[in-house]
Amino acid sequence: MQEFQLLAVHDEDDDGALGWQERALCAQTDPEAFFPEKGGSTREAKKVCVGCEVQAECLEYALANDERFGIWGGLSERERRKLKKRAV
């Protein structure tokens, strides 16, 4: 759950670089959906991400910080790994 808590925190010292997290829809929904058990469904989290205005910023953050758990920017960890491999 620590990863989700990061989404809801605004970093005042970062001059708003992480300010997108305040506008993230996931910060207003059930965190369990974004960190499903292994083999669990990611469908509900991805539905939230589709309508989120900061989806691109979220994905960029996850890729830059090598987030290994949860749904970030509408992608699972496996999907983010594939995306990174294609970019290389």
Is 49 labeled as ligand-binding? yes
Residue with tokens 């995306």: 83
| Digit-coded pLDDT (tens) for 2-58 | 343 334 433 333 446 788 999 999 999 988 899 998 889 999 999 999 999 999 999
Q: Which range marks the domain in which residue 26 is found? A: 2-87
State the average pLDDT over residues 64-75.
95
16 is in an annotated binding site: no
- The mean per-residue pLDDT over the stretch 50-75 comes to 96
Per-residue pLDDT at 88: 75
Q: Is 82 annotated as a binding residue?
A: no
Please give the pLDDT value at position 15. 42
> Are the C-beta atoms of 23 and 61 separated by less than 8 Å?
no
Number of domains forming the structure of the chain: 1
Of the two residues 3 and 60, the one the predictor is more confident about is 60
Whether residue 30 is annotated as binding a ligand: the answer is no
Q: How far is CA 66 from CA 16, 28, 30, 44, 84, in A?
A: 21, 23, 23, 23, 10
Q: Does residue 75 sit in helix, strand or coil?
A: strand
